[in-house]
Amino acid sequence: MATALKQANFQLPGELLDELRATVGKREQSKFVSDALMRELQRLRQLKAVDASFGGWQNGKHPELTAGVDSFMCNIRKSSRGKRSDESASR
C-alpha cells in the first residue's frame, strides 16, 4: 500500500539547493530529500531515547559484569562451547 504524498514548501540555502540539483536528478530530488529527512528524524528519535534512558543501568543490578564485558562474554562463550561439544558427543 503506497503512502499518500503531500506537498510541502521549504526554504533552503541557495548553495544547498544548487548542490542538490547538481547531484540528484530532477525526478529524484523529492525522494532524496524525503529519505534524508527520514534518516535525520530517526537519528533524533534515537538520541531522545538514549537521553530518556539515562541512569537506567545500575551496576549493583549486574554483578556479573564487575570484571568487565570482555570477561563476561568470554565466560558465556566458554559455557556455550562446552554444551555444544557435549551435545555432539552424545549423538
Residues 72 and 47 in one domain: no
Q: Cα(first)–Cα(last) distance of the chain, in Å?
A: 49
pTM for this model (two decimals): 0.61
Residues 44 and 74 in one domain: no
Q: Is residue 71 part of a domain?
A: yes
Set of cell numbers at residue 77: 562463550
Torsion angle (degrees, nearest 10) of CA 24, 28, 31, 36: -10
Set of cell numbers at residue 9: 514548501
pLDDT tens digits, 46-83: 999 999 988 887 878 888 888 888 998 998 888 777 65
Q: Is residue 57 part of a domain?
A: no
pLDDT tens digits, 17-55: 999 999 999 999 999 999 999 999 999 999 999 999 888
**Domain range spanning residue 84?**
65-89
88 or 67: whose pLDDT is higher? Answer: 67
Whether the CB-CB separation of 71 and 64 falls below 8 Å is answered with: no
